Chains A and B, each alone.
Chain A
Amino acid sequence: MSAFHPHQLDRRLRAARTTLWIVLGVISLAFFRTQILGHGKYQLQSETNRLRPIPLPAPRGIIFDRNGRILAENVPGYTVSLLPGPPADLRRTLALIAPIAGLDSGDIADVLQRARRAPHQPALVLTDAPFAVVSALEERRVNLPGLLIQSEPKRYYPDSTIIAHLVGYVGEVTEGERATQRFASVRLGGIIGKDGLEREYDDTLRGAEGVRFVEVSARGQMVREAEPAATLSPVSGAELHTTIDLELQRYIASIFPPGRRGSVLAMNPNTGEILAMYSAPGFDPNAFVGGISPAYWRELNENPAKPLLDRAIQTRYPPGSTWKLGVAAMGLKRGIVTFRTHMPIPCRGGLQYGNRYFRCWQARGHGALSLTEAIAHSCDVYFYQLGIKLGVNTMLEDGTAWGFRGRTGVDVPGEIPSEYPTGPEYYDRLYGPRRWTSAVALNLAIGQGENAQTLINMVRLYQQLASDGRMRTPFLVRPASVPAMESVSLELTPEQIAGLRRAMVAVVEQGTARGSRLASLTIAGKTGTSQNPHGPDHGSFIGFAPAEKPEIVVGAVIEFAQHGSAVAPLVARTIAHYLGLDETRARSMRLAVPADSAPEPFVIPMPPRVDPLRIIPVPVIPLPTDTVRAVPSPPTR
């Protein structure tokens, strides 16, 4: 029988048909499984395939001064970045961009590294691209796959250098910062505050980043904007209202002796509001926006004047004579002296104590002085004796209680603690037990020795004198709750405070700071001269006015100013300006008193260990006149 007999064929046909049905059925089922059952999954994959999220940076909150003037705002800027893609493609595109945008090989390597670090995010090529570059790139867009040009808010500080230390600056978050809890939510390449208020209040200023999606091809080329529904708008950061008086800050900057280093701090003594905080030399915070140029960064860090240093809170100076008010307050509080008390030994230009002769700054001597007169003339001999009466332990105890060891807690990051010995054991550690004498008390009493205060810490002492004696924590942004520090007080009676103020008025009227007397205003204040082993002494002045009911306390330090009297007019004019008085007379004033220098610094001796009978001179440990902050590596763009 032939294989092609119809019956045979029918049998095979049936087999073939069955096979065909089965195969078609299986294929249909497979498609059913993929298309109907797996639809959701694949739909999602398809979407993520074609959509690339692009972060939309939120505008940072605007920072205002107390009168609504702008300290920091945002201006439109352009960023150029590349959508993620294979490294070879990125390199090719970068090679095309390089001549237009002026990138060198180092920049290109940076971009590629950025792309590697965050493979699913656009890699930043240029921040703050000039308009010419943006338009040139836009023209060649067709040949530049993955090119993304975005308009992004850019931080701008209209007053630049004047407020630099105060507001700080912004920059790209670093790997190290992202590892911390605080910045964990910031995406790689996100902008955060790096210093000053920008840093302190970054959480509220930062806002919430938005995201938009663009459709891309398999090559990573941006095709078009995705549906607007998918876009999440950024939420701009909250506004920040500070206590700063920008007008005052500008005025201080304008009258601060040009080329000098130092700082001025103005505060409301009754609240702790900081009205101005100026440090010179300054820097341009705008240069940090969008990545600082390595040249400028190097200059800032290598400059011996250390412009990045906020001298109001990050530099310790021996307080010098400004400290005498603290000692006087200790004496009054403990009832050791009154304002009329005379010391046993009148000032003859110095005091013999043990085998040492401690000089007064006035070589011809002040004669017999009451406390009020001693403050007005800043007589060292008087305070040596007061120091001896108080004793080392008492001075250390009170000083520590009044916060001279530590920070004020001002809401600006980077404040360094002031240095003050904890107690006698500090000297034991330093010189060895029984290897030091109560002679340290003489140094402590005039603000020398092992005592180094930041300007803000000293201003806080005068704030207490200018108000009711209670301590206020200085702040730039009014805190939600009242800090606990306010319970600390000088524990003086109102009469004692009034007396101290009178003495300080006398300083200005007739004493060492006569240069700052203003006809229409009574300013209370005290000069200070900090010994500086590295050069001319630093001068300081802290004053407040009106003396009867102070509204402002201003402290100023000028490095290498030789003498505190030189600083007094600066403070006086600041106060007068703030109170709306004519400051022309203050401007024309000249220094009437030559020098308020503390005794010669002691030569540091090797602690003699052989002769126990010898009275050991008190060594002065040279304190760093400015504390060098660890220089951080330049922030990467």
Chain B
Amino acid sequence: MAALALYGLATLYSAGQTEVPTFVAHIWQRQLVWLGLGLIAIWLMFRTSPRMLEWATPILYVLSIVLLLLTLVIGTGAGTAASSKSWLAIAGLRFGQPAEFAKLAVILMLARWLAAQREPPATLRQLIPPCLIAGVPTFLVIQQPDLGSAIVFIAVLFFMLFWAGTKPSLLVLLASPVIGLVLAFSTATWGLWIAILAGLLLWWRPYLWEGLAVMTANVLMGVVALPFWNRLAPYQQNRLLAFLNPDVDPRATGWHVIQSKVAVGSGGLIGKGFTEGTQKRLAFLPAQHTDFIFSVVGEELGFVGVLVALGLFGLLLFVLLRIARKATDPYSSLAVFGLAGLFFTHILENVGMTINLMPITGIPLPFFSYGGSFLLVCCLGIGIALRVAWESRQSGYAEL
């Protein structure tokens, strides 16, 4: 963890070293401050009993929903996310991004609800509450609009349902409307999907009305797909289109992806040297301190640097999985797994988009990207995980 944070900080420092003077030059110092705060947060969470947390979860959840609502009313745009209302400013001071805190709150809330169930959800009806728990903030962040965070909420929901023991078939059915939505852009693929879905429904034999609901939802998605697409902000449409083909509009939309790929690709095996990346230095790389920070890693430290970073992330995730496995109670276990899911989603999405494996969404890379809120959230999560690990060791239940 510490290694990751230092690596991230160093990269951020480098990201600030550009030829074109920007405010990015000094943010590594501010990030250091945030990291300090993060360490305090880790310590605080480590001192907090999971029981206490479990008790406080609904409060946190409601609080974060309220904050999200507040953002919609008085939110301001800032930095690289200038056009969206994702920041809360109090008396002119930017306070943070409630969406990041909401991610943690949703994880905890889902953990609490799922842990309270005696049996894993077996029917779609039983899945409605968790869906609502994740769905409300998802809906709110889409209004901001912040598509990236919305995807994270949904991903986290699925990870946690899986960890709670939900049958894979059920998850597929749950996911089917989303799949249907995506495939609805082509009538042929959508028709095929409906056929496959019908087959699956017959095979798994859920309750009749549930099957019907799933079918209806899929058909409905096919119908609303176009209006939904039209309702997306143009930059969101462009990002998705540019993902499919960055060369469509290399000057504007595809710019980010192309420049990022060029940066990463030109890094080669060992990179251009720390702080020496030309793509970054000459400002071809956009948002090099937040969304595209991993491109800086790729350009300056090369494939080796990338592998080290991925290795560290992998290590973190495996440790988190292990903690989740050894946790003393379902709540802790689910919460830690949810955190792992959160990290996983962020890493996959952020790293993937730098080389066009994923569409561009503005979600930060844990411990690397500049941004106080998310770093704090990550630290809080780490704190929780450490506490959970500590507890399981205390109980002698695990030989961690």
Task: Give Cα A26 to B314, complex, Å.
Answer: 13
A100 on the interface (CB 8 Å rule)? no
Contact partner, A20, options B165, B303, B318, Cβ 8 Å: B318
A31 B306 Cβ-Cβ under 8 A: yes
B282 near A24 (CB under 8 angstroms)?
A: no
Q: With A20-B318, A35-B269 in contact, do A215 and B261 touch (Cβ < 8 Å)?
A: no
Per-residue A-contact encoding for B242-276, CB less than 8 Å = 1, 0 else = 00000000000000000101111111110000000
Question: Could you mark each residue 20-37 of chain B with 1 if its beta carbon is under 8 Å from any beta carbon of chain A, else 0?
Answer: 100000000000000000
Whether a CB of chain A sits under 8 angstroms from the CB of B283 is yes
A3 touching B119 in the complex, CB below 8 Å, given contacts A10-B325, A27-B357, A38-B265? yes
Pairwise interchain contact B283-A218, C-beta atoms closer than 8 A: yes
Contact with B along A112-141 (1 / 0, CB 8 A): 000000000000000000000000000000
Closest to A24 in B: B314
**Chain B residues within an 8 Å CB radius of A2:** 118, 330
In the complex the two chains form, is A4's CB within 8 Å of B19's CB? no
**Considering the chains assembled together, what is the distance between the CA atoms of A3 and B121 in angstroms?**
10
Q: Is B268 a contact partner of A39 (Cβ separation < 8 A)?
A: yes
- The 8 Å CB contact of A223, one of B120, B259, B279, B282, is B282
Which of A2, A23, A42 has most chain B Cβ within 10 Å? A42
Q: Are B310 and A46 in contact (CB under 8 A)?
A: no
The stretch among A11-19, A336-344, A508-516 that forms the contact with chain B is A11-19
**Chain A interface SS verdict (over half):** helix
Cβ of A437 < 8 Å from any Cβ of B?
Answer: no
Q: How far is the CA of A45 from the CA of B351 in the complex (A)?
A: 21
Minimum C-beta distance from A224 to chain B (A): 8
Partner of A16, one of B120, B261, B321, B348: B321
Partner of A46, one of B262, B269, B357: B262
Known: A27-B357, A35-B306. A12 touches B163 (CB 8 A): yes
User: A43 within 8 Å of B by Cβ?
Assistant: yes
Let me know if B40 is at the binding interface, CB within 8 A: no
B266 touching A30 by the CB < 8 A rule?
no
Question: Which residues of chain A are within 8 angstroms of B306 by Cβ–Cβ distance?
Answer: 28, 31, 35
Please determine whether A221 and B20 come into contact, CB atoms closer than 8 angstroms.
yes
Query: Within the assembled complex, what's the spacing in Å between the Cα atoms of A10 and B325?
Result: 7
CA distance A529 to B264 in the complex (A): 83
A39 and B163 form a contact (CB under 8 A): no
Contacts A17-B321, A223-B282: A35 and B267 contacting too (C-beta < 8 A)?
yes
Say if the beta carbon of A434 comes within 8 Å of chain B: no
Q: Are A49 and B262 in contact (CB under 8 A)?
A: yes
A424 to chain B, nearest CB (A): 72
Contact B357 A45 (CB under 8 A): no
Q: When the two chains form the complex, which single residue of B118, B303, B357 contacts A35, counting CB atoms closer than 8 Å?
A: B303
Contacts A3-B164, A20-B314, A23-B348; is A34 near B278 (CB within 8 Å)? no
| Docked CA distance A31–B284 (Å) | 20
| Complex interface: chain A residues within 8 A of B118 (CB) | 2
Residues of B within 8 A of A233 (CB): none
Tell me if B13 is interfacial: C-beta within 8 Å of chain A.
no
> Nearest B residue to A223 by beta-carbon distance?
B19
SS class, residues of chain B in contact with chain A: helix
Q: Does B333 contact A17, Cβ atoms closer than 8 Å? A: no
Is there contact, CB below 8 Å, between A30 and B262? Answer: no
> How long is the Cα–Cα vector from A31 to B307 in the complex, in angstroms?
9
Q: Is B162 an interface residue (CB 8 A)?
A: yes
Asked if A34 meets B355 with Cβ closer than 8 Å, knowing A12-B163, A39-B268, the reply is yes
Asked if B325 and A219 sit within 8 Å, CB to CB, the answer is no
Give chain A nearest CB distance to B346 CB in angstroms: 13
On chain A, the residues within 8 Å of B163 by CB distance are: 12, 16
Q: Choose one: B261, B303, B340; the contact of A42 (CB below 8 Å).
A: B261
Q: Does B298 contact A (CB under 8 A)?
A: yes
For B121, give the chain A residue with the smallest CB separation: A3
B264 touches A36 (CB 8 A): no
B348 CB contacts on chain A under 8 angstroms: 23, 27
Task: Report whether A35 and B268 are in contact in the complex, using a CB–CB cutoff of 8 Å.
Answer: yes
Are the C-beta atoms of B303 and A36 separated by less than 8 Å? yes
A4 touches B266 (CB 8 A): no
**Residue A8, interface by CB 8 Å:** yes
CB distance from B240 to the nearest CB of A (A): 19
A217 close to B (CB within 8 Å): yes
State whether the Cβ of A589 lies closer than 8 Å to any Cβ in chain B: no
Residues of A within 8 A of B352 (CB): 27, 30
> Is there a chain A Cβ closer than 8 Å to B178's Cβ?
no
Chain A window 203-230, contacts with chain B (Cβ cutoff 8 Å), 1 for yes, 0 for no = 0000000000001111101010000000
B344 part of interface (Cβ distance < 8 Å): yes
Q: Would you call B265 and A35 a contact (CB within 8 A)?
A: yes
**Which of B265, B317, B318, B357 gathers most chain A CB within 10 Å?**
B265
Mask, B73-113, CB within 8 Å of A = 1, is 00000000000000000000000000000000000000000
A-B contact pairs, 20 of them (CB 8 A): A2-B118, A2-B330, A3-B119, A9-B333, A12-B163, A23-B348, A28-B306, A31-B310, A31-B355, A35-B268, A35-B269, A42-B263, A42-B265, A43-B266, A45-B265, A46-B265, A49-B278, A216-B282, A218-B20, A218-B282
With A16-B163, A20-B344, A35-B268 given, name 18 new contacts (CB 8 A).
A4-B165, A15-B162, A16-B321, A20-B317, A26-B357, A27-B348, A27-B352, A30-B355, A30-B357, A35-B264, A36-B268, A36-B303, A42-B266, A45-B262, A49-B279, A49-B284, A50-B282, A215-B282
Q: For the complex of A and B, list the 6 residue pairs with the smallest distance between their C-beta atoms, beginning with the closest.
A: A42-B265, A3-B165, A46-B266, A3-B120, A35-B303, A218-B283
Q: Please report A residues at the B interface, Cβ cutoff 8 Å.
A: 2-4, 8-10, 12-13, 15-17, 20, 23-24, 26-28, 30-32, 34-36, 38-39, 41-43, 45-47, 49-50, 215-219, 221, 223
Residues of B within 8 A of A (CB): 19-20, 118-120, 162-165, 259, 261-269, 278-279, 282-284, 298, 302-303, 306-307, 310, 313-314, 317-318, 321, 324-325, 330, 333, 337, 340, 344, 348, 351-352, 355, 357
